[in-house]
Structure 1
Amino acid sequence: MDTTAVTRMWNDTDLLRNYTFSCASPSVEGYRYFGVLLGSTVTIVGTIGNILTVLAFATDASLRTRFNVLIVNLALADLLYCTILQPVSVDSYLHLHWRGGATWCRMFGFLLFLSNSVSIITLCFIAMSRYLVVAHRTSRCARLLLSHRGVAVLLISSWLLGVASFAPLWPVYVFAPQVCTCSFHRTKGRPYTTVLLFMYFFFGLGCVGLFYFLIYRKVRVASKAFLKYRPSRRSSERKRAKAEATTDDSGISAGASTIQSCEISHDETGAEQNKNKALEKSEGHTNTKEPKNSIQDASKDTETSSKPTPVTIQTTPAASSGEDSEFKRVTRMCFTVFMCFVCCFAPFLLLNVADKANRAPQVVHMICANLTWLNSCINPLLYAAMNRQFNQAYKDLLGKAVHPLTWIWRTRRITIR
Structure 2
Amino acid sequence: METNASNRNSSTSPGSEADPVYLLVIKGIPLCTIIVMAILGNLLVVVSVCRYRKLRNITNCFVVSLAIADVLVALIAMPFNASVELSGRWMFGYAMCDVWNSLDVYASTVSIIHLCCISIDRYYAVVKPLNYPLVITEQRVIIMLTFVWVFPVTISFVPIFLGWYTTAEHLAFRDQHPLVCNFIVNRAYAVISSSISFWIPSAIMCVMYYFVYQEAIRQAKFLYKNASAASRSQIAMNGGATSPARKGPLDGDDRAGETVQKIRHEHKAARTLGIIMGVFVLCWLPFFTWYITVSLCREACPCPDVVVVVLFWIGYLNSCLNPLIYAYFNRDFREAFRQTLQCVFWPCCGRRRDERISV
Q: Report the TM-score when normalising by structure 2.
A: 0.76
Code of the aligned partner of 1:333: T
Pick from 398, 407, 410 the counterpart of residue 341 of structure 2.
398
Code of the aligned partner of 2:74: C
Q: Tell me, in whole angstroms, the C-alpha distance in 2 between the residues paired with 1:28 and 1:327.
A: 54
In structure 2, the gaps of 5 or more residues are 1-5, 171-179, 234-249, 350-359
Q: Tell me, in whole angstroms, the C-alpha distance in 1 between the residues paired with 2:95 and 2:210.
A: 43
The alignment partner of 2:89 has SS state of: coil
Structure 1 residue 206 corresponds to structure 2 residue 194: no
The alignment partner of 1:50 has SS state of: helix
Change in CA separation of 1:342 and 1:183 when aligned onto 2, cut-off 3 Å: farther
Superposed CA offset, 1:234-293 (max 9, x none): x9xxxxxxxxxxxxxxxxxxxxxx99xxxxxxxxxxxxxxxxxxxxxxxxxxxxxxxxxx
Q: Tell me, in whole angstroms, the C-alpha distance in 1 between the residues paired with 2:272 and 2:314.
A: 21
1:109 counterpart residue number: 101
Pick from 364, 368, 373 the counterpart of residue 311 of structure 2.
368
Change in CA separation of 1:68 and 1:182 when aligned onto 2, cut-off 3 Å: farther
2:141 counterpart residue number: 151
Q: Tell me, in whole angstroms, the C-alpha distance in 2 between the residues paired with 1:28 and 1:126.
A: 46
The alignment partner of 2:156 has SS state of: helix
Structure 1 residue 333 corresponds to structure 2 residue 330: no
From the CA coordinates, give the structure whose radius of gyration is larger: 1
Superposed CA offset, 1:349-383 (max 9, x none): 22234443252211111111121110111111111
> Normalized per residue, which structure has more strand?
1
Q: Tell me, in whole angstroms, the C-alpha distance in 1 between the residues paired with 2:348 and 2:127.
A: 50
Code of the aligned partner of 2:332: Q
Code of the aligned partner of 1:216: Y
Change in CA separation of 1:182 and 1:137 when aligned onto 2, cut-off 3 Å: farther
Q: Tell me, in whole angstroms, the C-alpha distance in 1 between the residues paired with 2:129 and 2:54.
A: 22
Code of the aligned partner of 1:377: C
Deviation at 1:229, TM superposition (A): 4.8
Contact kept? 2:126, 2:267, Cα under 8 Å: no
* Higher mean C-alpha displacement, 66-75 vs 395-404: 395-404
* Higher mean C-alpha displacement, 350-359 vs 339-348: 350-359
* Higher mean C-alpha displacement, 366-375 vs 317-326: 317-326
Q: Tell me, in whole angstroms, the C-alpha distance in 2 between the residues paired with 1:114 and 1:338.
A: 19
Structure 1 residue 195 corresponds to structure 2 residue 185: no
In structure 1, the gaps of 5 or more residues are 1-10, 176-180, 236-257, 260-312, 407-417
1:315 counterpart residue number: 254
Code of the aligned partner of 1:71: V
Q: Tell me, in whole angstroms, the C-alpha distance in 2 between the residues paired with 1:136 and 1:316.
A: 19
2:40 counterpart residue number: 48
Code of the aligned partner of 2:323: P
Deviation at 1:192, TM superposition (A): 3.1
2:356 counterpart residue number: none
Code of the aligned partner of 1:398: L
Contact kept? 1:33, 1:94, Cα under 8 Å: no
Q: Tell me, in whole angstroms, the C-alpha distance in 2 between the residues paired with 1:226 and 1:354.
A: 47
Tell me which stretches of 4 or more aligned residues in structure 1 moved more than 6 Å. none
Contact kept? 1:145, 1:151, Cα under 8 Å: no
Change in CA separation of 1:60 and 1:156 when aligned onto 2, cut-off 3 Å: same
Deviation at 1:44, TM superposition (A): 1.1
Matches within 5 A, 1:215-254: 215-229=212-226
Change in CA separation of 1:83 and 1:192 when aligned onto 2, cut-off 3 Å: closer
When the two chains are superposed, the root-mean-square deviation of aligned CA atoms in Å is 3.2
Superposed CA offset, 1:303-357 (max 9, x none): xxxxxxxxxx831755544333322221111011111111111111222344432
Contact kept? 1:42, 1:377, Cα under 8 Å: yes
Contact kept? 1:36, 1:94, Cα under 8 Å: yes
Q: Tell me, in whole angstroms, the C-alpha distance in 2 between the residues paired with 1:351 and 1:28.
A: 28
Deviation at 1:29, TM superposition (A): 4.4
Matches within 5 A, 1:119-134: 119-134=111-126
